[in-house]
Structure 1
Amino acid sequence: MRLALVSSASGASVVAIDNKIEQAMDLVKSHLMYAVREEVEVLKEQIKELVERNSLLERENALLKSLSNNDQLSQLSAQQANPSSTLQAQAVMAQPAQPAQPPQQPNVSSA
């Protein structure tokens, strides 16, 4: 009879431990799911911002292409084909356009 009591007490103890383990696993699972959902929301926001930034850059690129002349576009194509000329192309494109005529000096009369 005493053996039966020890056995049932031992069985109850195992069941209690199993229940505790299951509860702990459920808690870990819920925390992980919460963390994953949070990270997904952050990533969705980053994707949204990157899509907006990409769209803005594409519009800016189209505008710059429409405002540039064929020489500048050919320099850009050459730059993409030969990356070592990047600095030279940037320097050329950064120079302001030269006016067709030099500015006229104002007529100043000495009194």
Structure 2
Amino acid sequence: MTQRIVEKRGANHTLHIILTVCTCGIWAITGWPIAAAMGRKTVTRVPTYPQYTPQQQPAPPQQYGPPAQMPPPPQHRPTTGTGGQQAIIADELMKLAQLRDQGVISPAEFEAQKARLLGQ
């Protein structure tokens, strides 16, 4: 029987360099035109149209009438003692004066209501 002795050799650096240069050289020659062709942008011209201006749309018909005026909620009025009564009478007189100024009631009606409130 014969023995075979295998010596491990290092990498063949010369072959490696030659193949790398050839491969890079091929890509350098063919890669640039391919990349340029694939990266080329095409410009497409589209026709321009006149500026669009929306026309005034008519208002939609009103489906419901105006909302009804709700009376203000009643305010709590103190009724204890004479101070509370005086505040209520003063408030009523102010309301009657506003109605008189608006022309809802006549000055004579205002005077009559005032006399009734003051107990005269």
TM-score (ref. length: structure 2): 0.29
Name the structure where helix makes up a greater proportion of residues.
1
Larger Rg: 2
TM-score (ref. length: structure 1): 0.31
